[in-house]
């Protein structure tokens, strides 16, 4: 019985981490859909007015996206784009871009 | 008298003021047209008639919501080459552009005469004898060079380059800035040191591959990718969509003869035509040029006066082609009647029209020898009527062997005598665009699908056949290299919006897939 509870508990722990962990693959897909058109994958165009995102600090990326979404940081285009992102999207995207080498 | 003078002065004043007003209007109009020319025209056409991208004029944009158009310009269009102009153009400019496009008719062909061309010739290195006598970088053979047309995100600017890679080390050995998107790279078959690059705005650059420097450039028109080099390397021919002409140049890029592309189409109508493919051949001292809208192929003899033989009623909308039989036979795609036409360049007559898929676009073509047969491979843009295939023909018997089902429209096939697969790029605009499909040469069936990422297109084998290069185009910004047998990814080369890939090996095997030793 104790064994079974232990196993169940363990499973619960594993499952909850899985649910919270940001997915680099989901981040890649979302970035391709939403971000890379302007910010590029590893680098943005040498002529583009957009900052590159590859290799940036994960926490910073999350914070910036949430600020754009909440409109505490103002940019007409980013407020619109970030407005469509969920917390999970933001975690995934930040996870993906922060781990890409420049 | 005094009164009159005063009156006169007033008249002059009013007149002058009027002139200023007029000048103001003209100025405003030409300003937005300039913005169009500098940002849009290289893809949408200098005449607003469309080129790589849709036509933008009062007719094509009739009834479209200005707000939607403004958003499209700001954010760009996903799964196409259209970049976001947010931050590059001012909001006021974007708004004015929408108004301008919706009120401007397709323009007449702007003139670009032989005189204009001569005046546009730029010489970067005057004395070619000052150039190094061998490559200034490590390379076993110049055939190992692979050139990539990097478009640059905006189709112009610092990201627009011809990039040359050593296909044994997968390292960049040279970069030539081209100002606007590079489209075609052709190598001189007679002298390994020269290559020619053509941009979407019809500039031709002569490139010294030993020093990796541009030597000269000339503007041959406003838009159009067609470029050919003669077998002796002495002549080039460049053709335009805007305006409707083609120019024969010498290897110093000096214009020799201008051809106005006019002809009678298969319906009997006299038309002025875009320039389709232009090709030089190891078979003879000639160029073949396709008149897209007139449905004609012209064969130009490279001798005194450049006489022309016109082959008429070839097809309804001719585009690109490839060579076979030591360059004697030309296989040319016709968009609108879904055929590929075999032409004998010796007799200068049509041999046969072969069934292709929907909207054939052979993109340089491929030919392989299997079990004693020479098989030609043709890609097809279209996906209509479930007829989504890559066409295979027996090039000796000139008959259809198979229409191989593939997962979407295709643009360009790659093959090599030493590689087991014919690679085709799926271009259908959804997730399939990320993929390349591989056809087994022997079974003529798709045996593998590679997920390259980005918008994967223009596969090309290295000259030794060991590696398969693929552009992960826009949204990918890298060229991905695979081992051509194991299909394992072996390298990635970063660049902005890579498109066409051109191996120097092509001049040896003429058409990709044929043996470099036999040149068949």
Chain B residues in contact with A45 (beta carbon < 8 A)? 83, 152-154, 157, 159, 496-497
Of B75, B153, B475, the CB nearest to A47: B153
Q: Which residues of chain A are under the pLDDT cut of 70?
A: 1-20
Q: Cα angle at B269 between B264 and B270, to 5 degrees?
A: 55
Can you tell me the distance from the alpha carbon of B318 to that of B302, in angstroms, rounded to the nearest whole number? 23
Give the confidence band of B519 by pLDDT, cuts at 50, 70, 90.
low
Q: How far is A88 from chain B (nearest CA, A)?
A: 23
Q: Which of B387, B393, B392 is nearest to B405 (CA)?
A: B387
Q: What is the DSSP letter of B144?
A: G
Compare B300 and A21 and report the one with higher pLDDT: B300
Which tokens go with A90?
């933001």
B159 interfacial to chain A (CB closer than 8 Å): yes
- Report the pLDDT averaged over residues B473-485: 92
Say which residues have a Cβ less than 8 Å from residue B145's Cβ, sequence separation at least 6: B139, B164, B165, B166, B167, B173, B209, B503, B504
CATH architecture of B222-355: 7 Propeller (2.130)
- For residue A5, what pLDDT is reported? 64
Q: State the count of interchain CB pairs (< 8 A) between A and B.
A: 60
Chain B residues in contact with A43 (beta carbon < 8 A)? 477, 494, 496
pLDDT tens-place string over residues B2-30: 444 444 444 444 444 444 444 444 444 57
Which tokens go with A100?
């890409």
- For residue A10, what pLDDT is reported? 56
SS (H, E, C) B244-306: CEEEEEECCCCEEEEEECEEECCCCCEEECCEEEEEEECCEEEEEEEECCCCEEEEEECCCCC
Asked whether the beta carbons of residue A46 and residue B78 sit closer than 8 angstroms, the reply is no
Can you tell me the distance from the alpha carbon of B240 to that of B272, in angstroms, rounded to the nearest whole number? 12
Q: By the 8 A CB rule, do B42 and B181 touch?
A: yes
On the question of pLDDT at B487 being above 60, the answer is yes
Q: Which CATH number fits domain B2-103: 3.40.30.10, 1.10.760.10, 3.40.50.10190, 3.40.50.1820?
A: 1.10.760.10
Q: By the 8 A CB rule, do B459 and B426 touch?
A: no
Asked whether the beta carbons of residue A41 and residue B75 sit closer than 8 angstroms, the reply is no
Q: How far is B35 from chain A (nearest CA, A)?
A: 16
- For residue A11, what pLDDT is reported? 57
- For residue B10, what pLDDT is reported? 44
- For residue B289, what pLDDT is reported? 98
pLDDT tens-place string over residues B50-88: 999 999 999 999 999 999 999 999 989 877 899 999 989
- For residue B466, what pLDDT is reported? 97
Say which residues have a Cβ less than 8 Å from residue B147's Cβ, sequence separation at least 6: B162, B163, B164, B165, B185, B187, B195, B197, B501, B502, B503, B504
pLDDT tens-place string over residues B92-144: 999 999 999 999 999 988 899 999 999 999 999 999 999 999 999 999 999 99
Of A38, A46, A77, the CB nearest to B159: A46
Which tokens go with B295?
């449905």
Q: By the 8 A CB rule, do B479 and B469 touch?
A: yes
CATH architecture of A24-99: Orthogonal Bundle (1.10)
Asked whether the beta carbons of residue B153 and residue A45 sit closer than 8 angstroms, the reply is yes
- Other Cβ atoms closer than 10 A to B6: 10
pLDDT tens-place string over residues B385-408: 767 999 999 999 999 999 999 999
Q: By the 8 A CB rule, do B60 and B47 touch?
A: no
**Pairing verdict, β B255-260 and B410-414:** unpaired
Domain ranges of chain B: 2-103, 222-355
pLDDT tens-place string over residues A44-57: 887 888 999 999 99
Q: Which string of DSSP letters, residue by residue, matches B106-141?
A: PPP-----HHHHHHH-EES-S-GGGS-SS-SS--S-
B70 interfacial to chain A (CB closer than 8 Å): no
- What residues are paired with A95 via a beta bridge? none
Distance of CA A53 to the CA centre of its chain: 11
- H or E element that contains B451: strand B446-451
- For residue B474, what pLDDT is reported? 81
Q: How far is B33 from chain A (nearest CA, A)?
A: 21
Which tokens go with B247?
């120019």
- For residue A8, what pLDDT is reported? 58
Q: Which SS3 state, helix, strand or coil, does residue B157 take?
A: coil
Asked whether the beta carbons of residue A48 and residue B87 sit closer than 8 angstroms, the reply is yes
């Amino acid at each position: 019985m104790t064994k079974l509870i232990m196993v169940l508990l363990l499973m619960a722990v594993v499952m909850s981490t899985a649910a919270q962990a940001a997915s680099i693959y989901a981040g890649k897909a979302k970035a391709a859909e939403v971000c890379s058109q302007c910010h590029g994958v590893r680098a943005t165009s040498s002529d583009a007015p957009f900052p590159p995102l590859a290799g940036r600090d994960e926490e910073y990326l999350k914070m910036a996206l949430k600020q754009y979404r909440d409109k505490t940081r103002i940019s007409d285009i980013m407020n619109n784009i970030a407005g469509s992102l969920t917390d999970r999207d933001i975690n995934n995207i930040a996870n993906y871009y922060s781990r890409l080498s420049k | 008298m005094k009164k009159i003078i005063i009156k006169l002065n007033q008249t002059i004043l009013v007149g002058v003021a009027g002139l200023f007003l007029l000048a103001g209007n003209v100025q405003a109009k030409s300003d937005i047209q300039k913005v169009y020319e500098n940002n849009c025209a290289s893809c949408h056409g200098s005449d607003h008639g469309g080129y790589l991208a849709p036509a933008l004029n009062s007719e094509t944009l009739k009834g479209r919501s200005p707000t939607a158009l403004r958003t499209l310009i700001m954010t760009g269009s996903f799964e196409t080459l259209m970049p976001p102009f947010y931050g590059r153009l001012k909001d006021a400019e974007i708004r004015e552009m929408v108004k301008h496009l919706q009120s401007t008719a397709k323009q007449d062909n702007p003139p670009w005469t032989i005189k204009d061309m001569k005046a546009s010739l730029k010489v970067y290195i005057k004395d070619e004898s000052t150039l190094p006598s061998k490559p200034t970088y490590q390379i076993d053979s110049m055939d190992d060079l692979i050139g990539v047309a990097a478009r640059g995100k905006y189709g112009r600017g610092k990201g627009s380059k011809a990039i040359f890679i050593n296909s044994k080390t997968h390292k960049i050995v040279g970069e030539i800035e081209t100002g606007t998107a590079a489209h075609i790279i052709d190598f001189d078959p007679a002298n390994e040191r020269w290559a020619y690059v053509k941009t979407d705005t019809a500039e031709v650059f002569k490139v010294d591959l030993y020093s990796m420097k541009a030597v000269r450039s000339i503007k041959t028109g406003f838009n159009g990718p067609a470029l050919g080099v003669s077998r002796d390397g002495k002549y080039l021919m460049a053709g335009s969509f805007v305006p409707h002409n083609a120019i024969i140049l010498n290897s110093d890029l000096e214009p020799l003869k201008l051809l106005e592309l006019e002809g009678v189409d298969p319906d009997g109508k006299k038309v002025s035509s875009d320039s389709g493919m232009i090709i030089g051949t190891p078979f003879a001292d000639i160029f073949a040029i396709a008149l897209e809208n007139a449905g004609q192929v012209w064969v130009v003899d490279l001798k005194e006066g450049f006489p022309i033989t016109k082959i008429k009623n070839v097809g309804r909308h001719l585009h690109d082609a490839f060579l076979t039989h030591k360059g004697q036979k030309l296989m040319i795609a016709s968009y609108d009647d879904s055929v590929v036409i075999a032409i004998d360049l010796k007799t200068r007559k049509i041999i046969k029209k072969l069934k292709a898929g929907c909207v054939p676009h052979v993109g340089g073509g491929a030919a392989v020898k299997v079990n004693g047969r020479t098989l030609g491979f043709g890609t097809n843009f279209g996906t209509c009527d479930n007829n989504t295939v890559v066409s295979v023909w027996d090039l000796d018997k000139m008959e259809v062997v198979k229409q191989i089902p593939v997962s979407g429209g295709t643009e360009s096939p790659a093959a090599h005598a030493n590689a087991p697969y014919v690679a085709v790029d799926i271009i259908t605009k959804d997730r399939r665009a990320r993929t390349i499909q591989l056809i087994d040469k022997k079974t003529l069936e798709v045996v593998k699908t590679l997920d390259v990422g980005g918008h994967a297109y223009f596969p090309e084998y290295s000259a030794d056949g060991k590696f398969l290069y693929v552009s992960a185009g826009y949204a990918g910004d890298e060229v991905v290299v695979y081992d051509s047998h194991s299909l394992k990814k072996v390298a990635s080369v970063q660049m902005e919006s890579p498109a066409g890939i051109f191996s120097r090996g092509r001049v040896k095997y003429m058409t990709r897939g044929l043996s470099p030793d036999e040149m068949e």
